[in-house]
């Protein structure tokens, strides 16, 4: 297959031993754009109750504020390489940054659910453009010796952005207004635009690439991935295939995937080059990233849920617990480029996966009395595992392909991570719902009305209420309600422990795949990486 040449703005500037100032400005611009995009995935999580209240949305309707962003972002990520070839890298990113400002403003001034969801969908499209292009800039502008530095910066942004989002969103909501979760993007985007103008040279659009595009693949990608994301995000709430909406979206997903498959054989340059997955080393990276993405997004969901429902934490307090996993990232930041340059990638990734497994197993011993401090060590180990696993995978995904293929490879890599997160959350939601029901039923069966322990517990609680109210009938009702709440709490704790165990076992299965990775000493075209 003939390869498309890199646009002028993406072409390496000399590729000596050291990158130029303009190269580093371009890398800073790409990294800032990626930070903004990943931060906006989770920044609204803490503010959702306030947003829903002011725009008049129910809890179920409010979930579309997050789903709309994810749906459009996951569609844009694999399209970014093609759109970069059409418009040119600088033009594409400048347009994305300007539109991101516009859509953020729409979200910030929204007073209806429709306007908010429309703004979030627009944010997802424009934000999704900035994630893979950041990797493309790093891959094309930095010489091999400095590639680990650039990939380290990008990897830290992708890992820490979702952790900072809830804390920042919670602080803005409590101290200023939820609208500043969106208005804060304005000054950041202005700085991004300045960096893009300074760091990337002007390049001409290639309109012929638009007219000769793989439109079958584009339509399949838009329909298939957007529908799949909604199915995964909303399936559990809608009771899966009991909902006609989920059924029809699943059909649309299948049609979209068929169109993507057909385009791989009919298009001269498919919009999403799945042929890259024929190479075992690149495919192993994608599969590991998919599973690790499921684990990371799952943990970002599980721990705040546990702290909120069991320990009574608010979103901001839970966010600070999540930030513990960022401590190893900051401590290891100066060492990461040296680690990537000196150690075999297989050793680093396997060490990272083992740390992630250990962190999950540490969280399988939760109790109803567990609080944020009980997650301290597991979060530290998890943070170290994220860094050791994801940093080499970031670089391995780029080093496994030629520079001309880096845009397509970055799109598939980031899509796999986000899609893994959506799949992981869908599976976790289903497991939590069903195992919670199972454990509740089992505890109730063991704690019958004839149980001496059950009778003693009800009598003790009722006596306490009777001493305060003097009404025995009311006290008995309160005692039974309290017992029911304790049963539900214990069932939830058991379920959360099982989910952490499930994530740990899944990560163990990825360890053999890490043996397929290869530590590149120089950029290697995919065709030579056998």
365, with CB counted inside 10 A (0-12, 13-18, 19+), is: exposed
The model carries a pTM of 0.74
pLDDT score for 14: 44
Residues making up the chain, counted from first to last: 530
263 contacts 216 by C-beta, under 8 angstroms? yes
Helix, strand, coil shares of the chain as percentages rounded to 5?
Answer: 80, 0, 20
Q: At what angle do helices 89-109 and 21-42 cross, to 10 degrees?
A: 30
Cα Rg, the chain, nearest whole Å = 25
- How far CA 110 is from CA of 329, 407, 466, in Å, comes to 36, 35, 50
Per residue in 310-357, pLDDT tens?
888 877 777 788 888 888 877 887 777 777 777 788 888 889 899 999
Alpha carbons within 13 A on the beta-carbon side of 530 = 3
pLDDT score for 519: 65
**CA 6, CA 9: separation in Å to the nearest integer?**
8
Both tokens of residue 519?
A: 């530590």
Nearest to 369 by CA among 314, 312, 431: 312
452, with CB counted inside 10 A (0-12, 13-18, 19+), is: exposed
Residue ranges of the chain with pLDDT lower than 50?
A: 1-15, 522-530
Annotate 130-197 with DSSP letters as a single string. Answer: HHHHHHHHHHHHS-GGGHHHHHHHHHHHHHHHHHHHHHHHHHHHHHT-TTHHHHTHHHHHHHHHHHHH
**CA 427, CA 199: separation in Å to the nearest integer?**
42
Nearest to 391 by CA among 49, 147, 70: 147
């Amino acid at each position: 297959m003939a390869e498309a040449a890199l646009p002028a703005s993406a072409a390496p500037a000399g590729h000596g031993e050291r990158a130029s100032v303009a190269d580093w400005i371009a890398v800073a611009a790409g990294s800032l754009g990626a930070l903004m995009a990943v931060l906006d995935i989770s920044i609204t999580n803490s503010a959702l109750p306030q947003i829903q209240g002011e725009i008049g949305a129910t809890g179920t309707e409010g979930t579309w504020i997050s789903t709309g962003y994810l749906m459009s972002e996951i569609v844009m990520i694999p399209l970014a390489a093609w759109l970069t070839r059409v418009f040119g890298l600088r033009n594409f990113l400048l347009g994305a940054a300007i539109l991101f400002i516009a859509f953020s403003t729409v979200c910030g001034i929204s007073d209806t659910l429709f306007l908010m969801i429309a703004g979030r969908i627009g944010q997802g499209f424009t934000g999704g453009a900035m994630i893979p292009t950041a990797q493309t800039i790093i891959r094309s502008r930095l010489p091999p010796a400095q590639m680990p530095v650039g990939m380290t910066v990008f990897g830290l942004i992708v890992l820490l952005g979702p952790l900072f989002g809830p804390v920042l969103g919670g602080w803005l909501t409590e101290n200023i207004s939820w609208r500043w979760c969106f208005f804060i993007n304005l000054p950041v985007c202005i700085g991004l635009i300045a960096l893009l103008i300074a760091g990337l040279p002007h390049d001409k659009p290639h309109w012929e690439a638009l007219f000769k595009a793989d439109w079958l693949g584009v339509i399949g990608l838009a329909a298939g991935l957007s529908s799949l994301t909604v199915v995964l995000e909303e399936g559990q709430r809608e009771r899966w295939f009991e909902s006609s909406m989920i059924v029809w979206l699943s059909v649309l997903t299948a049609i979209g995937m068929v169109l993507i498959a057909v385009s791989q054989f009919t298009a001269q340059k498919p919009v999403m080059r799945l042929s890259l997955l024929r190479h075992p080393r690149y495919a192993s990276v994608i599969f590991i990233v998919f599973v690790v993405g499921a684990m990371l997004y799952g943990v970002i969901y599980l721990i705040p849920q546990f702290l909120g429902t069991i320990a009574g934490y608010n979103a901001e307090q839970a966010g600070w617990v999540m930030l513990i996993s960022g401590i190893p990232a900051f401590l290891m930041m100066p060492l990461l480029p040296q680690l990537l340059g000196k150690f075999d990638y297989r050793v680093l990734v396997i060490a990272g996966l083992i740390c992630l497994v250990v962190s999950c197993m540490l969280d399988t011993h939760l109790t109803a009395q567990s609080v944020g401090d009980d997650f301290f060590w597991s979060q530290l180990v998890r943070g170290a595992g994220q860094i050791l696993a994801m940093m080499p995978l970031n670089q391995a995904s780029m080093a496994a392909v030629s520079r001309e293929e880096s845009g397509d490879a970055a799109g598939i890599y980031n899509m796999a991570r986000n899609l893994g997160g959506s799949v992981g959350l869908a599976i976790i939601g289903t497991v939590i719902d069903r195992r919670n029901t199972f454990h509740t039923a089992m505890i109730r069966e063991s704690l019958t009305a004839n149980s001496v322990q059950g009778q003693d517990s009800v009598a003790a609680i009722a006596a306490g209420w009777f001493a305060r109210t003097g009404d025995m009938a009311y006290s008995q009702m309160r005692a039974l309600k309290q017992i029911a709440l304790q049963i539900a709490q214990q069932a939830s704790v058991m379920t959360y422990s099982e989910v952490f165990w499930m994530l740990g076992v899944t990560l163990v299965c990825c360890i053999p795949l890490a043996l397929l990775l290869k530590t590149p000493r120089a950029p290697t075209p995919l065709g030579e990486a056998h």
